[in-house]
A = this chain, B = another copy of it.
Amino acid sequence: MNIGAAAEASGLPAKTIRYYEEIGLITPDRKANSYRDYSDDHMHKLRFIQRARSLGFSVEDCRQLLSLYEDKGRASADVKSVAQEHLTEIERKIAELSSMHDVLSHLVSACRGDNRPDCPIIDGLAK
C-alpha cells in the first residue's frame, strides 16, 4: 500500500506519516522503487496513532501506547496510568480555558462595540 492510500485509509496526511517515520514511530517496508509500502499491520498502527492523537495524546504518549499495544503481556495498569495522566491534563486545560472564558465573556458583553473609544475590554486589560 502506497503512502497516499495509507493516508486516505488512516485519516492522516501523507506528510504526517512520513514525519512519524522520521521520528521512528512507524517504519514501513520499501518496495523496489523505493516507495513506502504499508502492510495491514502498519495500517492498524497508523489508525491506532490517529485515534490516540485525536484524543489529544502527545506523540511521545503515542509511542508508549503503541509499545503497550504491541506488548501482549502488558499490565493494563500501565496503559491506565498514561491515560489517567493525560485525562488530568485535559481537565487542567479545560479549567484554564473556562476561567479565561469567564473573564473574557464578561468583558466582551460589557463592551458596546460601537465607534466610540471607551472600552471595558481595554480597561480590563490595562486594569
One complex includes copies of this chain to the number of 2
Tell which of A12-20, A28-36, A118-126 binds the partner: A118-126
| Most B C-beta atoms less than 10 A away, residue of A80, A118, A127 | A80
With both beta carbons as reference points, the residue of chain B lying nearest to A45 in the complex is identified as B126
Extra inter-chain contacts (11) besides given A56-B100, A80-B121, A83-B108, CB under 8 Å: A47-B127, A55-B103, A75-B115, A76-B111, A76-B112, A76-B122, A77-B113, A93-B93, A93-B97, A94-B94, A94-B101
A-B contact pairs, 23 of them (CB 8 A): A44-B126, A52-B125, A54-B100, A56-B97, A69-B125, A73-B117, A74-B117, A74-B119, A74-B122, A75-B114, A75-B116, A76-B112, A76-B113, A76-B117, A76-B118, A79-B122, A80-B113, A83-B111, A84-B108, A90-B100, A90-B101, A93-B97, A94-B101
